[in-house]
DNA sequence: TGGCAATTGTTGAAGTTTCAATATTTTCGC
DNA sequence: GCGAAAATATTGAAACTTCAACAATTGCCA
């Protein structure tokens, strides 16, 4: 019985090894950390975000505030919930960042007349002017990436990221 | 003089517009937030990291701790600096996470005999056993991604991310 | 209609990360 | 070999994020 099990185990190992090396990657438990998609995304995000951060630092503005300004730039108000989704922040964090931006007169709150639970956020003139300067800095970062990485790769990567995000929802 | 500058400005606008619409994407200042590479990376990272986090939560372990265990699994000691680079954390943060893991007997510190400024980190037996359970959870997440997103896209995305990271250094 | 559940945003406490300063050890020039 | 500069890890304070509870308003349905 032990022997039979051992033989059967060997057979299945051989079969799996053969099949997997032809059809697909073997599902090894020992995949290095650096081959996990989650890790590669974290690493790339960290690096690119750092670059952007250091550009925007010329205006003394954190990345999150740039995102907020950019979303509000069109002049249509957004509720805190909509805004939080758009800028990838959870609600309490957004509330506190917005508090600071209100102090800096970059954005302002208006009670939504249609639904008085809601607050509509708007961008001030000052906020819009700052936003445009920040946009330039951000564009120059993307240009720098495209220089080193190539236009084709950049567009292909964007396309794949969009479809990954789609497929995850 | 004013007129000449104006004409020259118009010319250069036309030239740039013509050239850019043939050669590359026009560098509009009004690119939506959702088309910036930095944003797409942040969004994808957030989503995939959330998924992984919720899987690893079955063992009550944060993603960072899994990364640390995985790096140390091979039994070769790593200094705090090496480990911090490998797991994408800065030094003080790593020190504090490691403190917790030492309390939980998952890892341990050894003074490096070759260089007494350094501390070598190792994974305990307990840590290795936990790491293997975590690996299974992580593998099942990747399998789930591949199911929805496709094998080809996944591999292509990984390849592009790796080369982006390369090009950024 | 009246009241209960759901939605929206904020708050305060707890937890986490980051920055600057520190202690220790090594390296290197002289 | 000595002393200044660099490298390594940790610490404590400050800043930030997150969690859970709360207040206000709306939607629902019986």
Report the complex ipTM: 0.84
d(CA A115, CA B6): 49
> What pLDDT, on the 0 to 100 scale, is given for residue B10?
38
Contact A157 B157 (CB under 8 A): yes
> What pLDDT, on the 0 to 100 scale, is given for residue A1?
35
> What pLDDT, on the 0 to 100 scale, is given for residue A166?
93
Residues of B in contact with A158 (CB under 8 A): 35, 37, 40
Q: pLDDT band at B27, cuts 50/70/90?
A: low
For chain B, say whether A42 makes contact (Cβ under 8 Å).
yes
Sheet strands side by side (includes B119-123): B78-79, B119-123, B107-111
- Nearest chain B Cα to A44, which residue? B165
How far is the alpha carbon of A15 from chain B, nearest alpha carbon, in Å? 21
What CATH number has the domain bearing residue B67?
Answer: 1.10.10.10
Q: pLDDT (tens digit, 9 = 90+) per residue, B77-115?
A: 999 999 999 999 999 999 999 999 999 999 999 999 999
Kindly state the tokens that stand for B119: 């501390």
Domain range for A110: 64-167
d(CA A12, CA A7): 9
Q: In a structure prediction context, what are the per-residue pLDDT tens digits for chain A, which is 169 residues long?
A: 333 333 334 344 333 434 334 445 455 568 999 999 999 999 999 999 999 999 999 999 999 999 999 999 999 999 999 999 999 999 999 999 999 999 999 999 999 999 999 999 999 999 999 999 999 999 999 999 999 999 999 999 999 999 999 998 8
- Cβ neighbours around A166 below 10 Å, total: 10
CB-based contacts of B153, cutoff 8 Å, min separation 6? A160, A163, A164
Q: Give domain status of residue B63, yes or no.
A: yes
pLDDT above 50: residue B4: no
The DSSP result for A94-133, as a single string, is HHHHHHHHHHTTSEEEEE-SS-TT-EEEEE-HHHHHHHHH
**Which candidate, A83, A76, A61, places its Cα nearest to that of A131?**
A61
In Å, what is the CA distance from A131 to each residue of A77, A125, B59, B113?
Answer: 16, 10, 44, 53
B119: β partners = B111
Kindly state the tokens that stand for A115: 């639904």
Measured to protein CB atoms, the chain D nucleotides within 7 Å are 7-12, 17-20, 24-27
User: What's the Rg (C-alpha) of chain B?
Assistant: 24
Strands (E), B25-146: 78-79, 107-111, 119-123
Across chain B, mean pLDDT equals: 86
Kindly state the tokens that stand for B68: 């640390």
**DSSP 8-state symbol, B6:** H
**Which candidate, B135, B80, B125, B133, places its Cα nearest to that of B105?**
B125
* Structural domain count of chain A: 1
d(CA B72, CA B59): 19
d(CA A160, CA B151): 12
Q: Give domain status of residue A6, yes or no.
A: no
d(CA B127, CA B104): 9
Contact B161 A41 (CB under 8 A): yes
Q: pLDDT (tens digit, 9 = 90+) per residue, B38-80?
A: 999 999 999 999 999 999 999 999 999 999 999 999 999 999 9
Measured to protein CB atoms, the chain C nucleotides within 7 Å are 7-12, 16-20, 24-27
d(CA A83, CA A89): 8
Q: Is B75 left (phi over 0), alpha (psi -120 to 50) or beta?
A: left
Q: pLDDT band at B28, cuts 50/70/90?
A: low
Residue B108 contacts residue B99 (beta carbons within 8 Å):
no
């Amino acid at each position: 019985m032990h022997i039979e099990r051992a033989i059967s185990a060997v057979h299945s190992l051989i079969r799996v090894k053969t099949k997997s090396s032809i059809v697909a990657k073997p599902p090894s438990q020992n995949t290095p950390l650096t081959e996990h998609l989650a890790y590669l995304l974290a690493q790339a995000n960290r690096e690119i975000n750092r670059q952007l951060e250091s550009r925007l630092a010329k205006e003394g503005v954190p990345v999150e505030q740039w995102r907020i300004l950019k979303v509000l730039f069109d002049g249509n108000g957004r509720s805190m919930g909509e805004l939080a989704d758009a800028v990838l922040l959870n609600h309490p964090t957004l509330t506190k960042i917005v508090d600071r931006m209100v102090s800096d007169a970059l954005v302002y709150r208006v009670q939504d007349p249609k639904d008085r639970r809601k607050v509509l956020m708007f961008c001030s003139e000052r906020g819009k002017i700052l936003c445009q300067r920040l946009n330039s800095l951000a564009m120059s970062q993307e240009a720098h990436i495209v220089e080193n990485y190539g236009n084709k790769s950049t567009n292909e990567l964007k396309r794949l990221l969009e479809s990954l995000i789609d497929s995850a929802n």
